[in-house]
Amino acid sequence: MLELNDLVDVAERAAERAANYVRAARPPEAASWTEKSRHDFVTEVDREAEELIAETLTGLVPGSAVVGEELSPAAEYTERVVWLVDPLDGTTNYLHGYPQYAVSIGARVDGVLSVGVVHDVARDVAYRGALGHGAWSGGKRLAVSGLTDPTRSLVGTGFPFKRLDLLERYLGQFAAVMRGASGIRRAGAAALDLADVAAGRFDAFWELMLAPWDVAAGVVLVREAGGLVTTLDGSADVLGHGSIVAGNPTLHGWLMDLLRND
């Protein structure tokens, strides 16, 4: 059985391979975009990137399983090592040339979320973390912000674009956070939003509807950088299809209270 740091190395290799492919690929014309659901696009670039990732992960870790957004979203978590893969988080950004998209690879080991790698494709910056080993970017160890005053905080978010039935609830939360924080940002790639929390650029983040492959890697980064990540109900199990609240310990608590009371 490989050590966690070995699994991080494998994930980094797979993410870098996919990132290089995405950078070299030409974004397809709008006529060839496929809409999985309203506002949710997928292209051959997404699918090919996931195939490259799966080939690398299972080749270097035989017997592991890949749960990916495009090719295997319904796969079961039965193997000791289960990879949770988003080959192109921020597809809409990519299609429009907006430079905020990433490859995200997390891993559950014996049922525990333990490894996370997020590769910022446009900037060619990799973030990595492993349970008990910290979170890093290059040689720099990541740490969540030390800000404790909500009125000075910068909070990241994501719109419920796939679930418009949640829009009214979200807009109420948005208004409450806007009144209490110094600013809100929505860039459209949850993996990078969580990396920004881990790096201390965002003080907190929330979104109402995310899939396991959207958050697995970023959750590891935030937790290993000293932050907290839960669902809106307070559960530490964030690998369902649902809400997520992340931040440094103080502002995570503030944001949880604010969102629950809205």
Same domain? For 120 and 198 the reply is no
Domain that holds residue 116: 4-141
Last residue of a domain, one of 97, 120, 141: 141
For residue 76, the model assigns a pLDDT of: 64
pTM above 0.85, yes or no: yes
Give the residue ranges of DSSP H helices in 97-248: 167-180, 190-198, 212-224
Same domain? For 9 and 137 the reply is yes
Same domain? For 11 and 119 the reply is yes
Same domain? For 64 and 21 the reply is yes
CATH number of the domain encompassing residue 31: 3.30.540.10
Last residue of a domain, one of 87, 121, 141: 141
Identify any residues that bridge with 130 across adjacent strands, giving them in sequence order. Answer: 115, 134
Could you give the number of structural domains in the chain?
A: 2
- Type of residue found at 58: T
24-81: pLDDT as tens digits: 998 877 766 666 555 456 688 889 999 999 999 999 999 999 998 777 666 666 789 9
Last residue of a domain, one of 141, 165, 197: 141
CATH number of the domain encompassing residue 226: 3.40.190.80
Q: H or E segment at 54?
A: helix 44-60
For residue 39, the model assigns a pLDDT of: 46
- Cα 254 from Cα 43, distance rounded (Å): 39
